[in-house]
Amino acid sequence: RKCHLNTCPVGVATQDPELRKLFTGEADHVVNFYRFLAQDLREYMAQLGFRTINEMVGRVDKLAPRKDVKHWKAKNLKLDKLLHNLVDGQEGGTYCCEKQDHGLETALDWELMKAAKPALEEGKPVKAEFTIRNVNRTVGTILSSNVTRKYGAEALPEDTIRFKFTGSAGQSFGAFGAKGVTFELEGEANDYFCKGLSGAKAILYPPKASKFTARDNVIVGNVSFYGATSGEAYIRGKAGERFGVRNSGAQVVVESCGDHGCEYMTGGRVVVLGEIGRNFAAGMSGGVAYVFDPDGKNAGRVNPEMVDLEEVTEAEEAIELKERIERHHEYTGSQTAKEILTNWKANLPKFIKVMPRDFKRAMVEMKAEMGAKG
C-alpha cells in the first residue's frame, strides 16, 4: 500500500504536516510510551526473579488468587485448574521451543507439480485427475506460486493446466490461483474457497450421482473469494456466509449464498441465481452484483447504505450477464441456469443489479472524460 508515501486515503499513516495537524499527540509520545512500558515490565520481572519473558511463561507458581475480593460473582470461582502446572514432573517446555511442522512435504500440491511439469517447463497443456480430502488444505497454492515465478504476472493461457478433483476439499482450496490454471471439483469445499484468486478458473459442482437440489444445499463454506483480484468461478450450489467479501476483480457465479454476501466488495462481478442472506452488499464500494429475484424477497435483504438497486437495461450488459450464466451451465450442468436461460426474455427483468453509488459516479465521470477526449 506504500503508506509511507502519504497514499493513505484517510491520513492515518502519514508524514504530511497538514494531515498530521488533524491528530492530537506526537509520534515521539508513542515511542516514550513503549519505552516506559518496557522499563516498567523490567522492574516487575526483576522483583519476580526473571531475566527474560520466556522464563515467565507458565510460571503459575508466581500467581495466587486474591482473597480480598468480596464481589458475589467471585464467591464460587475456582482457579485451581487454571493455575495448575501442566508440565510439573513431565518433559516439555512452557512455551514454543520447536518449529511447527506444517506438513508441506506431504502436501497434495507436490503431486500437482509433477503432473504440471510440461506446463511449468515448456508451457504445454496438461490434464490430470486427483482424489481430494478435507485434510488437503490450500490445494493449488504452491502450484500457482511456481506458475507465477516462472511466467510472471501474465502467467499461462487459459486452461493450460486443467486438473479435476473428486471429494471434499479442505480450507483455502485454489487460494491465490494463477491465470492459466483451471480447477474442477466434483464434491464440496470448506471455508476460504479461492481466497486471493489471481486469474485462475474454478468450477465446483455436487457429485453427479447426487439427487438433491443443488441450489438449496451448501456446497462451499464461508468467506469464499476473500480478496480475489481476478479470475472466474462457477459454483453449482449454495455458499456460506460472507461470500465474495473484499472481492476486487473476480467474475463469480453462485446459485445462492448466506448472510453478508459481497461485503466490502470493491470490484469484479458476482451473479447469484437464487436466494441471498441478509445484509448483502454491506460496505460494497465497487464492482457489480446481479441477483435473480423472481419473488421480490432478495431486494429486502440488500443493505442499501452504499448501493442502489437497478434493472439490467443496457443491451451489452444483458448479453454479458447471459454469457456468464451460459458458461455456468456449460461448466457445471446447472439446472437452475438452464431454467433461467430457457426463458431468458422473461427472466432478465427479474434480475436486480446491485450498484455501488460511488462506483457508478466514477464510471459516469470516466465516460464523460473519454467522450471529451473524443
**Number of structural domains found in the chain:** 2
Residue 104 lies in a domain: no
pLDDT at 26: 83
What is the average per-residue pLDDT within 83-105?
77
pLDDT at 67: 86
Residue 120 lies in a domain: yes
Residues 160 and 115 sit within 8 Å (Cβ to Cβ): no
> Residue 341 — very low, low, confident or very high, per pLDDT cuts 50/70/90?
very high
What is the average per-residue pLDDT within 156-168?
98
Please tell me the least confidently modeled range out of 97-106, 238-247, 287-296, 327-336: 97-106
Residue 95 lies in a domain: no
> Residue 276 — very low, low, confident or very high, per pLDDT cuts 50/70/90?
very high
Q: What percent of the chain has pLDDT over 70?
A: 96
Task: Identify whether residues 75 and 180 lie together within a single domain.
Answer: no
CATH of the domain at 346: 2.160.20.60
Q: Which of 196, 191, 280 is nearest to 240 (CA)?
A: 191
Alpha-carbon torsion, ordered 22, 27, 32, 33, to 10 deg: 50
Q: Which residues pair with 188 in a beta bridge?
A: 168
Task: Identify whether residues 357 and 253 lie together within a single domain.
Answer: yes
How many whole angstroms separate alpha carbon 211 and alpha carbon 68? 65
Residues 110 and 144 sit within 8 Å (Cβ to Cβ): no
3-state DSSP assignment of residue 176 = coil
Task: Identify whether residues 80 and 164 lie together within a single domain.
Answer: no
Residue 92 lies in a domain: no
Residue 94 lies in a domain: no
Q: What percent of the chain has pLDDT over 90?
A: 76
Task: Identify whether residues 74 and 129 lie together within a single domain.
Answer: no
Q: How does DSSP classify residue 349?
A: G
pLDDT at 95: 80
Q: Which of 85, 101, 130 is the last residue of a domain?
A: 85
pLDDT at 91: 63
Task: Identify whether residues 123 and 73 lie together within a single domain.
Answer: no
Task: Identify whether residues 309 and 174 lie together within a single domain.
Answer: yes
* Cell numbers found for residue 25: 499527540
Residue 55 lies in a domain: yes
**How far apart, in Å, are the Cα atoms of 10 and each of 13, 19, 146, 222, 283?**
8, 9, 37, 30, 16
Q: Could you count the other beta carbons within 10 Å of the beta carbon of residue 351?
A: 23
**How far apart, in Å, are the Cα atoms of 249 and each of 60, 196, 289?**
51, 10, 12
pLDDT at 99: 87
Between the two ends of the chain, the Cα-to-Cα distance in Å is: 34
Q: Which of 38, 67, 85 is the last residue of a domain?
A: 85
Task: Identify whether residues 225 and 358 lie together within a single domain.
Answer: yes
Q: Which of 85, 105, 126 is the last residue of a domain?
A: 85
Domain limits for position 33:
1-85
Task: Identify whether residues 288 and 193 lie together within a single domain.
Answer: yes
Task: Identify whether residues 121 and 77 lie together within a single domain.
Answer: no
> Residue 344 — very low, low, confident or very high, per pLDDT cuts 50/70/90?
very high
pLDDT tens, position by position, 25-57:
887 899 999 999 999 999 999 999 999 999 998
Task: Identify whether residues 78 and 167 lie together within a single domain.
Answer: no
Task: Identify whether residues 66 and 161 lie together within a single domain.
Answer: no
What is the average per-residue pLDDT within 333-342?
98
Residue 169 lies in a domain: yes
Q: Check whether 2 has a pLDDT greater than 70.
A: no
pLDDT tens, position by position, 185-234:
999 999 999 999 999 999 999 999 999 999 999 999 999 999 999 999 99
Task: Identify whether residues 53 and 171 lie together within a single domain.
Answer: no
What is the average per-residue pLDDT within 117-140?
97
Residue 108 lies in a domain: no
> Residue 19 — very low, low, confident or very high, per pLDDT cuts 50/70/90?
confident
